[in-house]
């Protein structure tokens, strides 16, 4: 069976070659860089002790530097497993989730037609290139010079000129034996509702649009006359071209991604070309419309974290918001986007011309993650000075994160937004709240005060808990008492037993540092094993029987001094649940990173390589991020009272 090249390209693009080869080899951990799609292993085609077999996801190719074998997905399966080519295609199609094409003569005729249409598009490209260099193209050449494009750049992107004539291209193609129907099928002529067809592109600078194999499938034309209403005109959808499924400069950008494996999506043809001339070979652009879901999939085939770059004006910012809304539901581990916002009033072309490539590199280095952009949109310029407005912001953020389809990413986004809300409201309140003495006079102290059970709702409770938890490290250093965050977790579980069943997998494996808290945790698990979890008093009695009454009293005394009312016995279950979730998240993050830090330190001590050093630095940075989160909450926080040091 003969398979259409477009079908083979589609399934190859959908399945990373590493997933095909990875089933037969073990990747070398030292040389492999998963984030970049760069893999190394011992060659499966010949025996060797050191890895010289290399495959790259972005190229979809493998090569062994030892024995010289190389190929793509299909060749790997046919040569290593002895499959026939149709069987290999069927296997890759199954992995891609794409049905095998029906075997019929009509499909083969269409494929032949596509091949012939590609030939016609190539002829048109050559025609436009030649006319750019002719006397007719003088005005177009002058425009390109004014835009700063060198002759080499024009040739690299195969720029051309469509003369101001209704029949110039049509007559040229007819002289080459191209039929009228083929010209119409390529979208090169306008034939609907007119007695005689005519050239679609006239008096325009022509930008050839290529597919993933570098074949010209469409054109974009930029009008030279200011009187033309449509400044840019694209080819219509054809057998070869569907605008929402193609990125301008895709094939060239995939090859030019470089060591950082980054791809940049900008807004227009000229931005892509200007960036390439300035040394950025990894830029692509949608075709005159907002980025589509299919175009986003193309970006993710190249890299897990493309940079979406938007012009520095209100229209560019609105485009960034729309793109963020489109990206959000589809994010997964290893599939997201960053957003680069240009200076006010400038596009990439303007920026590199005025300030040079370094200015654009600075913009890229400051690209923001998706979570930052969403937060900025929902809070920028907003005033959240009432409980209703704060509740509305929380509701909006919950609705946003609920759109994420991936359960794990949705959970982490929820945690991220919760922590941002805590810090943000704390910052606002710290600017608005009265002096400490005035607050005491106005609102009283303890649970009868501002944040008591009759006061503000769950939001305020989370703020109080978060602020107090952030102080745990200082309390531990000052008095040598139980860590406050761990104490809050145990207190919440004992005082609100419903949380045990809801979170049993996490509760059972709690990693606590203080010996008394570990004993209380053991007694809690023992109570669960004996079915004594109907109410908190039964669990506390069980702890007393185990000789832990004093430890429990000290734990509760610490919680009361810190005024962590949401984990106390008379708090609402909703407040307790929220406080427990936050404390558990911080506890697990800190515990995991602490273990990874120890492993990384040991690895560097025993094997002081650059790779181990970089890994240690990365873990240290993540550990500092967790500490910084708590420090930020503390710095901005508004507690219901101070943690007593007595």
DSSP H or E segment with residue 363: helix 357-365
Q: Please state, in angstroms and rounded to a whole number, the distance separating the CA atoms of residues 306 and 323.
A: 12
Residue 586 corresponds to which tokens in the numbers above? 């911080």
Span 619-639, pLDDT tens digits:
776 666 555 544 433 332 223
From the CA atom positions of the chain, what is the Rg in Å? 32
DSSP H or E segment with residue 162: strand 160-162
DSSP H or E segment with residue 71: strand 70-71
The conformation of residue 216, written as its DSSP 8-state character, comes to E
CB 196 within 8 A of CB 171: no
Interior angle at CA 625, CA 622 and CA 629, nearest 5:
150
Q: What are phi and psi of 401, to 5 degrees?
A: -65, -25
Q: Structure pTM?
A: 0.56
Highest mean pLDDT among 357-366, 432-441, 496-505: 357-366
Q: Please state, in angstroms and rounded to a whole number, the distance separating the CA atoms of residues 445 and 439.
A: 9
166 falls in which pLDDT band (50, 70, 90)? very high
Specify the pLDDT at position 348.
92
> Can you tell me which residue has the tokens 């002529």?
189
Q: Please state, in angstroms and rounded to a whole number, the distance separating the CA atoms of residues 465 and 180.
A: 75
Highest mean pLDDT among 151-155, 480-484, 556-560: 151-155
Closest-CA residue to 347 (of 416, 395, 283, 409): 283
Q: Please state, in angstroms and rounded to a whole number, the distance separating the CA atoms of residues 565 and 576.
A: 9
CB 360 within 8 A of CB 280: yes
641 vs 482 pLDDT, higher one: 482
Query: Which 3 state secondary structure label does DSSP give 61?
Result: strand
Summarize the confidence of residues 245-267 as an average pLDDT. 85
CB 453 within 8 A of CB 447: yes
Q: Which residues pair with 71 in a beta bridge?
A: 62
Domains present along the chain, CATH in parentheses: 5-96 (3.90.580.10), 107-234 (3.90.980.10), 256-379 (3.40.1360.10), 484-634 (1.10.860)
Residue 144 corresponds to which tokens in the numbers above? 């390109």
Query: Which 3 state secondary structure label does DSSP give 307?
Result: strand
Residue 474 has pLDDT above 60, yes or no: no
Specify the pLDDT at position 596.
74
The conformation of residue 521, written as its DSSP 8-state character, comes to H
Q: Where are the beta strands (DSSP E) in 388-517?
A: none
Q: Please state, in angstroms and rounded to a whole number, the distance separating the CA atoms of residues 421 and 427.
A: 10
CB contact burial 567-602 (16+ within 10 A = b; e otherwise): bbeebeeebbbbbbbbbbbbbebbbebeebeeebee
Specify the pLDDT at position 444.
33
Summarize the confidence of residues 586-615 as an average pLDDT. 75
Specify the pLDDT at position 471.
34
């Amino acid at each position: 069976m003969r398979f259409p090249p477009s079908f083979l390209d589609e399934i190859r693009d959908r399945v990373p070659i590493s997933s095909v080869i990875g089933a037969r080899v073990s990747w070398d951990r030292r040389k492999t860089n998963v984030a970049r799609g760069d893999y190394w292993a011992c060659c499966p085609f010949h025996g060797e002790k050191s890895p010289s077999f290399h495959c790259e996801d972005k190229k979809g190719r493998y090569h062994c530097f030892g024995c010289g074998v190389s190929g793509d997905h299909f060749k790997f399966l046919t040569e290593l497993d002895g499959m026939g080519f149709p069987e290999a295609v069927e296997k890759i199609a199954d992995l891609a989730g794409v049905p095998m094409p029906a075997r019929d003569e009509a499909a083969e005729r269409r494929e032949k037609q596509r091949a012939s249409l590609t030939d016609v598009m190539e002829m048109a490209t050559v025609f436009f290139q030649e006319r750019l260099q002719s006397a007719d193209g003088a005005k177009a050449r002058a425009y390109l010079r004014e835009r700063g494009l060198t002759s080499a750049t024009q040739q690299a992107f195969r720029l051309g000129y469509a003369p101001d004539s209704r029949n110039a291209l049509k007559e040229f193609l007819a002289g080459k034996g191209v039929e009228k129907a083929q010209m119409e099928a390529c979208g090169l002529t306008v034939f609907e509702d007119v007695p005689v067809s005519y050239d679609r592109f006239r008096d325009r600078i022509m930008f050839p649009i290529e597919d993933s194999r570098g074949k010209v499938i469409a054109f974009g034309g930029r009008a030279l006359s200011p009187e033309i209403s449509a400044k840019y005109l694209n080819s219509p959808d054809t057998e070869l071209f569907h605008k929402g499924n193609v990125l301008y400069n895709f094939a060239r950008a995939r090859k030019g991604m470089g060591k950082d494996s980054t791809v940049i999506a900008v807004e227009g043809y000229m931005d892509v070309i200007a960036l390439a001339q300035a040394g950025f070979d990894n830029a692509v652009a949608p075709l005159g419309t907002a980025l589509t879901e299919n175009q986003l999939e193309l970006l993710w085939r190249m890299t897990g974290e493309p940079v979406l770059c938007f012009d520095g004006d209100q229209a560019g910012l609105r485009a960034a918001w729309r793109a963020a809304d489109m990206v959000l539901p589809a994010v997964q581990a290893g599939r997201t986007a960053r957003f680069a916002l240009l200076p006010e009033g400038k596009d990439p072309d303007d920026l590199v011309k005025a300030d040079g490539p370094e200015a654009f590199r600075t913009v890229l280095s400051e690209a923001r993650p998706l979570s930052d952009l969403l937060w900025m949109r929902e809070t920028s310029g907003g005033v959240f000075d009432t409980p209703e407005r704060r509740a509305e912001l929380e509701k909006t953020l919950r609705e946003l994160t609920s759109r994420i389809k991936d359960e794990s990413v949705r959970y982490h986004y929820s945690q991220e937004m919760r922590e941002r809300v805590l810090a943000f409201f704390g910052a606002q309140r710290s600017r608005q709240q009265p002096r400490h003495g005035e607050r005491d006079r106005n609102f009283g102290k303890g649970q009868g005060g501002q944040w008591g059970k009759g006061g503000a709702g769950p939001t305020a409770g989370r703020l109080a808990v978060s602020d107090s938890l952030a102080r745990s490290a200082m309390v531990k250093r000052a008095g040598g008492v139980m860590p406050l965050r761990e104490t809050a977790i145990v207190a919440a579980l004992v005082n609100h037993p419903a949380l045990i069943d809801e979170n049993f997998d996490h509760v059972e494996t709690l990693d606590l540092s203080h010996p008394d808290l570990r004993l209380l945790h053991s007694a809690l698990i023992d109570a669960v094993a004996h079915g004594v979890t109907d109410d908190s008093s039964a669990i506390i009695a069980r702890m007393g029987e185990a000789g832990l009454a004093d430890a429990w009293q000290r734990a509760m005394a610490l919680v009361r001094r810190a005024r962590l009312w949401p984990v106390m016995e008379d708090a609402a279950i909703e407040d307790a649940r929220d406080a427990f979730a936050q404390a558990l998240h911080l506890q697990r993050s800190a515990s995991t990173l602490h273990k990874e830090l120890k492993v990384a330190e040991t690895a560097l001590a025993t094997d002081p390589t650059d790779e181990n050093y970089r890994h240690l630095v990365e873990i240290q940075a993540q550990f500092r991020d967790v500490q910084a989160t708590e420090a930020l909450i503390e710095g901005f926080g508004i507690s219901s009272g101070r943690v007593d040091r007595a």
